Structure 1
Amino acid sequence: MANSVFVPGHITGFFTIENHEITLKNGSCGAGFLLSQGVKTTVSKADELTVNVNQGDETVIREVLSILEIETDFKITQDIQLPIGAGFGTSAASALSLTLAINEYLNLGYSLELCGQIAHMAEVNLGAGLGDVIAQTGKGIVLRTKPGAPGIGEIKSFTEDVYIGWKTFGAIQTADIIRDPHHKDVISSSGLKYLELFESEPTLENFLSFSNKFSHDTKLMSDEVKELIDYFNSSSDILGSSMAMLGNTVFAFAYDEDALKSLNIEDLHIDKVNNIGIVYD
């Protein structure tokens, strides 16, 4: 007997930091999109608790198990399909897929919202992120209109049939940025401006434009990220390009997959916006 749950990766284009003393209300508003790759967690029968993760460590898993207060013996296998710490929401996908898989395996009867709240608590407790969990319960392009965990925060989803090209240059320590007073002020001020503009006209063109402007406003781009964004945006076949928040990663959108391939960028990964969302096996 085994239960598997896949949760898509999520890239944020722009956001605000919305701190609250209550963990479930702590979060962010903003806009991002889901990827076809993410994290798949499988829970299966075992004589003792066993954890097998293909990259990274067990920190997120241990935090979720601590919140759930579960001592049952089983095997946890995680396939993390995207780089860790590079702006893909892998810690949130890890926490959410694990909570959902345990819920299915043990027949706990928890709702998606409650599982999402547990995953959100793990994410906030570790300082790994603020809004990916609730976004990962959506589909396609996801607008976070109210901060907090699923059931408390609010999102709107928009499906888009579009290709994504992405390349990462490494990780950014998310906790160092979202807890730094200066970064928080700059991010929230710029993010609020673009959030209000996007809410009034939520188009793909505006998402890409506002994401790019936000990345410049916040001055979080490395030189190599800025150079690649400029290269993407120099092509008339590319709809727009920006930086993944928060990661040393560049993404670009195109309606035609060949438009991305023809740029001949080394280590460029090509994906599609995920309009399906969470998948249970």
Structure 2
Amino acid sequence: MFAPGHITGFFTIYKHSDKLKTGSTGAGITVDNGVSLELKEGRGNVFYNNERVDICAVEKVVEHYKKFGYNENYDIIFSSNFPLGSGLGMSGACALVLAKKLNEMLNLNDNYVEIAHISEVECGTGLGDVIAQYVKGFVIRKAPGFPIDVEKIVVGDDYYVIIEIFGKKETKEIITNEKWIKKINEFGNKCLNELLKNPTLENFVRLSYEFAVNTELIDDRILDVCNDLKFTVGASQSMLGNTLFCISKKETLEDAISILKSPIVCKVYY
């Protein structure tokens, strides 16, 4: 079972007493690299790329499904080309794919997407990844949380998404800080309004770059590489992480890859 990675270009933060209505607006793209899940008989351990880990959102999902008879006689095994904590929605992907698996395994009609979203919100690891990963594609989130209110844009197959991971960044430190929230919401709302007027991938990556620069969330190393990639459709930083993403057509793909040290080439995933 698989859930795609998610690149957030820009976002706004909304808090509500109802966790289902807590979330974010903004825009992002899902990619064909993400998380695969396997359950094996075991002792309830969680593994990510063969390393034993604690993923808060996964623990919350497990807690929920224990109420319906799930026992911990399984090891939960995730595998991915992406590391955790790099702004590619891996925590949300793990929560989503596990909730879907347990929902099916226990023959429930649970809204597993809501369970995964609540788990992320409670852990402070994400606000909109789960919704985008469920909808898939180039997704503009017009309202936070549930009910889901998105615009899904279909893009041509000639676009490539190149990813370069520079390191980790803790999402919780940003999305719980009032100073950051004010700045993020100011520029995030401007970008959302601009994208809705012209919902193209070119406009998305341009606005993503403006958001990253104006909020001062962009890493200096990523900023330098973005300038080197101006011959492509565009480049920016995935929110929230020290990860560069670049949108390229086929004719500029090889040149773009040659600039980067460890590029991961993806396509938009529907």
Length-normalised TM-score, structure 1: 0.88
Is the 1:143–1:157 Cα contact (8 Å) retained in structure 2? yes
Structure 2 equivalent of residue 26 of structure 1: 22
Aligned-partner Cα distance in 1 for 2:246–2:117: 28
Q: Deviations over 1:46-101 (max 9, x none)?
A: 36534333257232322211122344233322113312111100000000000001
* Structure 1 residue 252 corresponds to structure 2 residue 249: no
Aligned counterpart, 2:254: 261
**Alpha-carbon distance between aligned partners in 2 of 1:224 and 1:102, rounded to the nearest angstrom:** 41
RMSD: 1.6
Is 2:106 the partner of 1:106? yes
Matched residue, 1:127: 124
Helix, strand or coil at the partner of 2:142: strand
Q: Distance in 1 between matches of 2:121 and 2:189?
A: 21
Alignment pair present for 1:181 and 2:141: no
**Matched positions, count:** 261
Contact 1:43 1:101 in 2 (8 A): no
Residues 190-201 of structure 1 aligned to structure 2 (within 5 Å): 190-201=187-198
Tell me if structure 2 keeps the 8 A contact 1:139–1:159.
Answer: no
Correspondence for 1:274: 269
2:54 is the counterpart of 1:58: yes
Residues 108 and 29 from structure 1, CA distance in 2 versus in 1: closer, same or farther, beyond 3 angstroms?
same
1:231 aligns with 2:228: yes
Structure-to-structure mapping, 1:35-114, within 5 angstroms: 35-44=31-40, 46=41, 48-54=43-49, 55=51, 57-59=53-55, 60-69=57-66, 70-72=69-71, 73-110=73-110, 114=111
Residue 155 (1) aligns with residue 145 (2): no
Q: State how far apart, in whole Å, the 2-side matches of 1:224 and 1:53 are.
A: 28
Measure the CA separation in 1 of the matches of 2:124 and 2:65.
19
Whether contact under 8 Å (2:5, 2:31) holds in the other structure is yes
In 2, Cα distance between equivalents of 1:43 and 1:10: 23
Q: Aligned partners of 1:98, 1:23: CA distance in 2, in Å?
A: 19
Contact kept in structure 1, 2:27 and 2:140, CA below 8 Å: yes
1:207-246 alignment runs, 5 A limit: 207-233=204-230, 235=231, 238-246=232-240
Matched AA of 2:35: V
Confirm or deny that 1:136 pairs with 2:133: yes
Describe the shift of the 1:50–1:183 C-alpha distance in structure 2 as closer, same or farther (beyond 3 A): closer
- Rounded Cα–Cα distance in structure 2 between residues aligned with 1:14 and 1:56: 32
- Say which SS state the counterpart of residue 27 (structure 2) adopts: strand
Distance across 2 between alignment mates of 1:204 and 1:61: 32
8 Å CA contact 2:45, 2:52 repeated in 1: no
SS at match of 1:172: coil
Q: Unaligned regions of 5+ residues in structure 1, if any?
A: 276-281
Question: In the TM superposition, what is the alpha-carbon distance from 1:43 to its structure 2 partner?
Answer: 2.8
Counterpart among 11, 16, 25 of residue 15 in structure 1: 11
Q: How far apart are the structure 2 equivalents of 1:244 and 1:100? A: 26
In 2, Cα distance between the equivalents of 1:27 and 1:163? 28
The alpha-carbon deviation at position 38 of structure 1 amounts to: 0.7
> Is the contact between residue 67 and residue 122 of structure 1 (CA under 8 Å) also seen in structure 2?
no
Gaps of 5+ in 2: none
Secondary structure of the corresponding residue to residue 84 of structure 1: coil
The amino acid across from 2:252 in the alignment is A
**Is the CA contact 1:144–1:156 (under 8 Å) kept in the aligned structure 2?**
yes
- Cα deviation 1:154-198 (Å, max 9, x = unaligned): 122112221011111101111000010110000001000110111
Distance 2:189 2:180 in 1: 14
CA contact (8 A) 2:37 2:76 kept: yes
Q: How far has the Cα of 1:255 moved from its partner? A: 1.7
Percent identity of equivalent pairs: 35
